Amino acid sequence: MYLAMNRFKVLKDKKEAFEAMWMERDSDLHNNPGFIEFRLLKGPEHEDHQLYSSHTFWEKEEDFVIWTKSESFRNAHRNAGKKSERTVMGHPQFEGFSTIQMIDKAGNKAA
């Protein structure tokens, strides 16, 4: 499992606009090979911003890389820059993660 994560520092008076932008978008992520799940998460509040994070889970890193070169990706990001510059401080910070260990509800471990 590969996790593609972005961290967004959202201006405090733009939280509603930022959330609305995500809620209202059309997403075809699920049509891409290897896509598992997407989550938009709201994190801690800081003095000058509210942290949000988008987590997209893929079977493997390669699936993510293929998506970044696809029309699906270009469509998803066509208006994102314009819209997010009004709500987000600076650029989102990207981090990719690979899974070292998983423990499920039943206590089963997997690497």
- Window of 27-35, 63-71, 74-82, 84-92 that interacts with its own copies by CB under 8 A: 27-35
Q: Residue 13 interacts with its own copies (CB under 8 A)?
A: no
Dihedral sign, CA of 66, 69, 93, 14?
negative
Q: Residue 98 interacts with its own copies (CB under 8 A)?
A: yes
Q: Residue 31 interacts with its own copies (CB under 8 A)?
A: yes
User: Residue 13 has what DSSP assignment?
Assistant: G
Q: Residue 51 interacts with its own copies (CB under 8 A)?
A: yes
Q: Around Cβ 71, how many Cβ atoms within 10 Å? A: 8
